[in-house]
Amino acid sequence: MLNYFWGKGPKGPEMGQEEKGKAGDSDTSVGSGSPAADPAEELKSAANEAFKDHKFAHAVDLYTQALEIRSDNAILYANRAFAHIKLEEYGSAVEDASKAIEIDPLYPKGYYRRGSAYVALGKFKDALKDFRQVAKIRPRDPDAQKKLKECEKAVQKLRFEEAIAQEEQDHPSVAETIDVSSMEVEPAYDGPRLEGDQLTLEFVKEMLETFKKQKKLHRRYAFQILLQIREMLKSTPTLVDVTIAPGAHFTVCGDVHGQFYDLLNIFELEGLPSLENPYLFNGDFVDRGSFSVEVIFTLFAFKCLYPTGLYLSRGNHESRSMNKIYGFDGEVKAKYSDNMAELFAEVFCALPLAHLLNNKVLVVHGGLFSQDGVKLDDIRKIDRFREPPDEGLMCELLWSDPKPGTGRSPSKRGVGVAFGEDVTKAFLEDNRLDLIVRSHEVKEEGYEIEHDGKLVTVFSAPNYCDQMGNKGAFIRFKSDMKPKYTKYSAVPHPNVRPMAYANNFLNFLS
């Protein structure tokens, strides 16, 4: 996660007085009089403390209560925008920052928070407009000028990449250009070796030991795994039917996000994937965590080894745009090569979008839809072999979130839709299902049951990005389809920070 802040003050929400006299900050207190006499000031102070303790959802609640008292305060809106950014609720962050700007058009933090949210959404051109405004308000501030130049570079690079992508649309798949047989395994290579094309359990176990030592799998074997998984996924349906036989079990995991050592801990707790011990990993295998390469090769290798012992669903982070921003693209290029990063993008477009367990439980990464009447056959018919669109069924499967209450509303993320209990109930009834399992959101206890027990969120990356303090969890189903939850804490990992390979401008904002 990122510390988006402005100026020389503390890396956190605006405390009240540290920037008095600067442009846009002439009214730095929430109310008049001493803080102790002002309920809004007290709430703001409590929200700031919650923020510093990484209790970002609680901070949002407290800022909201303060805004109910002082709805004309730009600082409160900017601070709440900051908390929304930490929760990856970028749509809400844009909305709050825009409100701060509306209240005070010369308040630089409003533009800075909105620009930061736009960067997180990959909307660099919109971000550029806001950073230009910051630099205009503070023309003598070197930090403002530096951030503007970095944003201009990012936009220039984005335009160049878009032009290259357009030129390469008619080119053959990168998979067709790779000749594994020509890649020599050097005598000095001390990792696992494979005779022939078929992966073995011994090879995969040796690969895990290699990764634990922070060593790389030889590029020949890495490409071999990628090409094999690509062929396997190409023939996989968009909605995969899974049968859990009497006496058998099936484990569903949520986001792992490049936390390789926590993935190994899951296998310590639940056993390695096999035909008798099958798993489903429900998207967002990569990005943010800086061991995403190790995570994805582990999952792909077990999938190649046991096609019905490990299942994979696409998440919103299995996409080219997210990977370029949040680290996976940079990590692959740093550890291997540009053409391997391109091959990963092709493979991700072949991942299925949903799994149906015993015709009773639907597992998707994000959530449900902006329209009523969607049937399972509609999911089966989605053309998934592409980058995720900005709207429609595929987008909503990857991006949507549940909300309390009923009805639908715009997503706090700025993509997908927020759907209520009635939407979940109607979808389950229309499709004769009992439960929806989804991931996509950090949960303090690793999972959360919502919508009258008809929807479960499971998240498997504990202490997300090394600072959220959350538990991880997974769900085990037996043939009776009653979920059993296991929670666990984060385990130590080598001293490589999250987002180490992220977009340069995103890191520049940290």
Q: What is the dihedral of CA 166, 332, 233, 167, to 10 degrees?
A: 10
Cα–Cα distance measured from residue 58 to residue 144, given in angstroms and rounded to the nearest whole number: 30
Measured distance between the N- and C-terminal CA atoms of the chain, rounded to whole angstroms: 9
How is residue 254 written in tokens? 């949520």
For 213, left (φ over 0), alpha (ψ -120 to 50), or beta?
A: alpha
3-state secondary structure (DSSP) of residue 402: strand
Contacts of residue 431, Cβ cutoff 8 Å, sequence gap at least 6: 362, 375, 376
Measured distance CA(215)–CA(476) in Å, rounded: 32
Q: How many Å apart are CA 73 and CA 63, to the nearest integer? A: 11
124: tokens are 């660099």
Q: Which of 84, 218, 257, 317 is catalytic?
A: 317
Q: Could you give the C-alpha distances from 234 to 224, 226, 301, 424, in angstroms and in order? A: 16, 12, 16, 30
Is residue 317 part of the annotated active site? The answer reads yes
CB atoms within 10 A of CB 71: 12
CB within 8 Å of 494: residues ≥ 6 apart: 214, 261
Task: Give the Cα separation of 408 and 405 in Å (integer).
Answer: 9
SS (H, E, C) 203-219: HHHHHHHHHHCCCCCCH
Distance between CA atoms of residues 149 and 135, nearest Å:
10
Residues 310, 308: Cα–Cα separation, whole Å:
6
User: Residues near 130 by Cβ (< 8 Å), separated by ≥ 6?
Assistant: 111, 112, 114, 115, 118
Q: Which residues are catalytic?
A: 317
